[in-house]
Structure 1
Amino acid sequence: MEDTPKHSGKVFDSDVLKRLFTFVKPYVKTFYFIIVLTFASAVLAAVRPFLIQYTVDHEILNNDWEGLNRMFVILGVLLVVHAIVQYLHTYFAGWLGQHVVRDIRVKLYRHILDLRLKFFDRTPIGTLVTRNVSDVETLSDVFSEGLAAMIGDVLQLVFILGFMFYIDWELALVSLSTFPLMVISTYIFKEKIKTTFQEVRTAVARLNSFVQEHITGMSIVQIFTNEKREMEKFREINKEHTRANIRSVLYYSVYFPIAEIIGAAGLGLLVWYGAYGVIEDDITLGTLMAFIMYIQMFFRPIRMIADRFNTLQLGVVSTERLMRLLDSKEMISDNGNYAPEKIKGNVRFENVWFAYKDEDWVLRDISFDVKAGESVAFVGATGAGKTSVINLLNRFYDINKGHIIVDGHDLQEYDLSVLRHHIGVVLQDVFLFSGTIADNISLGNKAITEEQMWHAADLVGARKFIERLPGGLHYQVMERGATLSVGQRQLISFVRAMVYNPEIIILDEATSSVDSETEELIQYAIDQLMHGRTSIVIAHRLSTIQKADKIIVLDRGELKEMGNHEELLEKNGYYAQLYQMQYKNMIDL
């Protein structure tokens, strides 16, 4: 998946913002309420200097104490109301942002769950973590600190300009004489910081990918004493992240002092011109005081708008990333509606062709039949296409040509979740989640009781080892089952498969990573698991599949031989050669 977005360069990209605001629809009343609060806050802020000007010119200079007290009360009430409005605005803008973020994150994760395995084959996990966490969190700022605050700043500027020109248009023009310089500096800052923000997001994605991948593979790093080299790689990636952030800090450190100088210059011109007007009696003291307040209020949002602008820009970049992920069409089509409660387990491959990429064929014109209750074993060298067969039967990938038929129905006709419910899979590399043994067996399915788990454990011979664990089924499994042996993890995977009672069972190299003693226990579990079910077995140890009803030999994606153990030995072909090689190795040992 491409890490750097092809950004349009427009902050107010109507298509992107329109899609972002579809997530606001459920909270549209809250959004409109925020807009009303934004408008009210802008008016209340702008009217305060006008009232102070009136107080100075009409109450203080005329020694009207009663009027002065009245204006103090009015100003006090105004300040309290403004504080309440700002509190409500800040709270509801944050509330809206967090709810939108929650909805987007849920939708994104649901979409990720439906993606093909092919997508995950070429997309770093760290990139997906960045999308689902960091990029989504950025959108919260769009609502709490970006768009709503930016609208408020713009409205405040409009009302300030209105009051300034209403009170004294000449003094307003003098006050705004440095405004073009502020606009130019803000635009330059915006363009520079936009680029650095994109670099920072890309660096964060790379950092997440690297850390996730290498923590997962830490055992390999340490086995091959590769810590120093990996540390150097991490330092380089971290340096890129640091450099990108320092560039953004540099632009901020340059922009804000310049903006402060421009604002101070505008205030200085105002005081100089206004003081001269007060001395000449052309400008009232209240007017000068109001303008001093207005010019400070005017330049503050101008400086902040640049920051708000870039928050919005970053939000648009993140939205584009997220929408590209949500628009990904790499999903298993689930248009089938055939959902039987039970299946017999007849499986047929008809002239199946399959490639993971373009026409780099992994399986070439494969055809075979497995009758209900039969056991079929696939053998062949690494890369022969054995695992691809089981990936296709589960529809983890879709075939390019041909048909896969289960009980007389094409695989495409089945409801995907129902199809996979009828197929149990035990992989060589057993993945266990953090949680209890029970959680890993049931996978969160509340319909599966502990009694059913113990029954399944009895059937596959796993009860004794589970009972010896502290807490039994409630023993806390560390991430990826690190505190359990390979054999124990494998037995848990057998219990997991058995408790769902599938009609078709697939065993992929289920005994290749265990010792001989554990293999005997697992072989018993396999026999129990296969009993009365259609079984598809992949194994390097040919001794484990000699009892199979049918053995299929694959070589470079092509079906070379098919038959039972004795038949294939009599042919003296591929299978016989593989068998002789393994037998010779066992003799040598």
Structure 2
Amino acid sequence: MEQELGSGTKKRTVRRLLSYAVQFKKQLLIALVMLAIAVTTDLAGPLIAKRIIDVHISGIEKPWYETAAAGGSTVAYGTKLYKREDRFTEGESRGAEVRILQIERNYYFIPQSIAGDGERSVAGDGKVEIARGGEKNTYPASMLTRDELYSFYRPELAGLLRLCWLYMGLLAISALFAYGQHYFLQSSANRIIRQMRNDVFAQLNRLPIRYFDNLPAGKVVSRITNDTESIRDLYVNVLSNFFTGTIHMAGIFIALFILDARLAAICLFIIPALAGWIYVYGRTAKKFNRIIRVTVSDINGMINESIQGMTIIKAFRKERRTEEEFEQYNTKLFQYQNKLLSLNSWTGHNLVGVIRNTALVALIWYFGGASLNSGAGLVSLGVLYAFVDYLNRLFQPMVNIVNQLPNMERALVSAERVFALTDQAGEDVSDHRIERYKGHVVFDNVKFSYKENEPVLKGISFEAKPGQTVALVGHTGSGKSSILNLLFRFYDPEEGRITIDGKDTMELPRQTLRQHMGIVLQDPFLFTGTIASNVSLGDASITRETIEKALADVGAAPLLRHLPLGIDEPVIEKGSTLSAGQRQLISFARALAFDPAILILDEATSNIDTETEAVIQQALDVVKKGRTTFVIAHRLSTIRNADLILVLDRGEIVERGNHDELMELEGKYRQMYRIQQGEPVASHG
């Protein structure tokens, strides 16, 4: 289980995520500018609607005055001309005041001013009654016909149409810029994640082999794929909704303050309520998300291990046991996902509902109180419409923000895991090149251990001269492979030094050191591609002729001749469609194609049948010329011609010499050789 990470780590994680975003700040700034334009044009809609309602629709109830001047804004009714009060120019004379009031679905013309507005009703006999509190006023009135009503609205049609076209234009602009900000934000997020994945994968190449000894491959894969995909959700969905929601809410509050500062101030409680919820939710959901991410990583590790070991699982009939182990992980993941789901279900939409209802209660209380008061407290229908519209718009970004909280916490946990990988100490891959080795290798009192206080090599010293073949033999765990691991600098010695042509290997970058070295392992690894691509490993300097020659030198041509496409035959993962001998021959050809000065064969012939081994032995007699070759072999018959044979026992060289010299010693080597030849060995009592 990974350690609990505190708020300080979370802050560092956020800063590092922002540092990735800064690399693509140009696109992000374009997205934010387009978002601001989209929000501004979108939020202008209710203000336009307010003006349409208050000026061009409800404005008919404003005072009208008799006028003698005819014009586009005057209305003829009866024998007189009338103009609305807000259509008079400065200094223009006004006649008697008249009013037009709506009662239910009809409109009435009142040929005088009114004392005040209130509850309206038709009293009959051509009269209208307006009641306010305990006071009632009656006014003479005549109901307007449809044509007469239209004549009073006709001067407003041009302005109303202009506002409608403006509203439609703003909607189109908003849609265009909303698309643009969405595209640029998503594009930036994809670029960020591409860069992050490249960095993580590059970090894998920088890490020492020792790191992978302690971390299953499935967990590494999980960090590169699953965890980075969760981080992508942070940039694509979380930041998008947070940015959009924040700008929307800021714009809406500005508009609310423009409409009515007192009600806008009341609605400000929404901001601390949302911020407090984000904080509380983050602390609660963090531990669930961390367990979920670790469990997903464990599942990936187990799946990878099961696939790699499927032959053993089936051979030993452990399918049920494997299913039970998987079910334990899967059940744990299910339980914690349900806990997180329950947390989201109980709090997400409920929180927004509570805030929405509270705001609506404040709206009703405020407008209801204003309606009961006389004077300027009463607001217009347009203001009421705009407030309701803005409040409804206010809660959608809140819902979007709250719904993204699970993704945000999951992404932060994933980011912590990814950065824990990238923070591991490693070495930059070097492109520095050096001249080809002569192949003079010296081990000088080298000591090494994989685990503390468990030495594997105890003062190893020997010399391999250019062009020599050095064989390492000994029981399992004697240190043979460790010597070659140190030579290749998969690991570094704790004491002593290793030199090649007199130069300490610790003074060279690992990639530079391996430039003129080749290795063939006991279990050869082939990549997905073709036989040719597995020999060249995509190196453009290795021509097709070089590939064919390398395969011919190791004797692979007869064994590969039956393949339909020859060296262009497809190779699937690990080369599972090829025989062990074919895979090993391709691995030999790979090493030879790079023309190494130092060739390492780590039990390279142990998985090959006797006939194939004979082919390889003949080829090796040719390709070893001019190269210093190190061979680990269990079959001692394959190293009889080695220039130097080192016999190891528990991390020490107990015998050294060529085959004939070691046979004369009648020590461990002679005993092992006679056993492999089937000769009787006298027991020592």
**Fold similarity call, TM over 0.5:** yes
**Matched ranges for 1:22-421 at <5 A:** 22-63=19-60, 64-172=156-264, 187-266=279-358, 268-270=360-362, 272-273=364-365, 276=368, 280=372, 282-331=378-427, 339-421=433-515
Letter in 2 for 1:71: L
Q: Determine if contact 2:349/2:399 at 8 Å carries over to the other structure.
A: no
Range with bigger deviation, 284-293 or 261-270: 261-270
Contact 2:430 2:512 in 1 (8 A): no
Could you say what secondary structure the match of 1:354 adopts?
strand
Displacement, 1:12?
7.1
Q: Deviations over 1:160-192 (max 9, x none)?
A: 222223322343355567777666555544433
Give the stretch that moved more between structures: 532-541 or 263-272: 263-272
Structure 2 counterpart of 1:288, which letter? L
Contact kept, 8 Å, 1:11 with 1:312, in 2: the verdict is no
Q: Is contact 2:478–2:649 with CA below 8 Å preserved after alignment?
A: yes
Measured in 1, the distance between the counterparts of 2:183 and 2:539 equals 38
Larger deviation: 516-525 or 403-412? 516-525
User: In the superposition, relative to structure 1, how do residues 218 and 447 fare at CA in structure 2: closer, same or farther (>3 Å)?
Assistant: same
In 1: Cα distance, 2:565 partner to 2:173 partner: 59
What secondary structure is seen at the aligned counterpart in 1 of 2:386?
helix
Deviation of the 1:443 alpha carbon: 0.5
Stretch moving more, 239-248 or 278-287: 278-287
TM superposition score normalised by structure 1: 0.92
SS in 2 for 1:4: coil
Deviation at 1:91, TM superposition (A): 0.4
Distance 1:170 1:26 in 2: 43
The letter of the residue matching 1:546 is: R
| Structure-2 residue corresponding to 1:8 | 6
- Alpha carbons of 1:387 and 1:49: their partners in 2 closer, same or farther (altered >3 Å)? same
Q: Structure 1, unaligned stretches of length 5 or more?
A: none
- Which residue pairs with 1:492 in the alignment? 586
Once the two structures are overlaid, the 10-residue window that deviates more, 488-497 or 528-537, is 528-537
Q: Equivalents in 2 of 1:309, 1:261: separation in Å?
A: 17
Provide the residue aligned with 1:560 in structure 2.
654
- Rounded Cα–Cα distance in structure 2 between residues aligned with 1:264 and 1:18: 33
- The amino acid that maps onto 2:456 is V
Secondary structure of the corresponding residue to residue 59 of structure 2: coil
The answer to whether the 8 A contact 1:190-1:306 is kept is no
- What is the RMSD computed on CA atoms of the aligned residues? 2.5
Residue type of the partner of 2:201? Y
Q: 1: CA distance between counterparts of 2:491 and 2:598? A: 18
Distance 2:49 2:257 in 1: 16
Aligned residue number for residue 134 of structure 2? none
Q: Distance in 1 between matches of 2:460 and 2:273?
A: 73
Q: Secondary structure at the match of 1:369?
A: strand
Q: Is the 8 A contact 1:377 1:551 kept in 2?
A: yes
TM (norm. structure 2) is 0.80
Identify which range, 232-241 or 55-64, moves more after superposition: 55-64
> Displacement of 1:66 after TM fit?
2.5
1:574 positional shift: 2.1
- Residue 636 of structure 2 corresponds to which residue in structure 1? 542
Q: Contact (CA 8 Å) 1:352, 1:404: kept in 2 or not?
A: yes
* Stretch moving more, 190-199 or 204-213: 190-199
1-structure distance, mates of 2:513, 2:562: 35
Partner of 1:349, secondary structure, is strand
Counterpart secondary structure, 2:446: strand
Q: CA deviation at 1:287?
A: 1.5
Structure scoring higher RCO (CA < 8 A, sep ≥ 6) equals: 1
C-alpha distance in 1, partners of 2:271/2:660?
92
Deviation string for 1:273-316 (max 9, x for gaps)?
A: 36635754712211221111122222222232233444343333
Give a deviation string over 1:117-169, Cα, whole Å, max 9, x none: 10111111111111111222223222222224313312222222222233223
- Greater shift, 258-267 or 290-299, is seen at 258-267
User: Which structure shows the bigger proportion of residues in strand conformation?
Assistant: 2
Secondary structure of the equivalent of 2:7?
coil
Quick check: 1:506 aligned with 2:506? no
Instruction: Judge conservation of contact 2:348–2:403 (CA < 8 Å) in 1.
Output: no
Are 1:571 and 2:665 counterparts?
Answer: yes
1:400/1:274 CA distance change after superposition, 3 Å:
same
2:15 counterpart (10, 15, 18): 18
Is the CA contact (8 Å cut-off) linking 2:448 and 2:494 kept in structure 1? Answer: yes
Q: Identity of counterpart residues, as a percentage?
A: 35
Find the aligned partners of 1:422 and 1:127 in 2 and give their Cα distance: 33
Comparing 443-452 with 244-253, greater Cα deviation is found at: 244-253
- Equivalent residue number for residue 519 of structure 2: 425
For 1:429 and 1:538, locate their aligned partners in 2 and report how far apart those are by CA, in whole Å. 13
For 1:375 and 1:168, how far apart are their aligned partners in 2?
Answer: 92
Give the aligned residue type for 1:525: A
Deviation, structure 1 residue 5: 5.8
Q: Is the 8 A contact 1:111 1:326 kept in 2?
A: yes
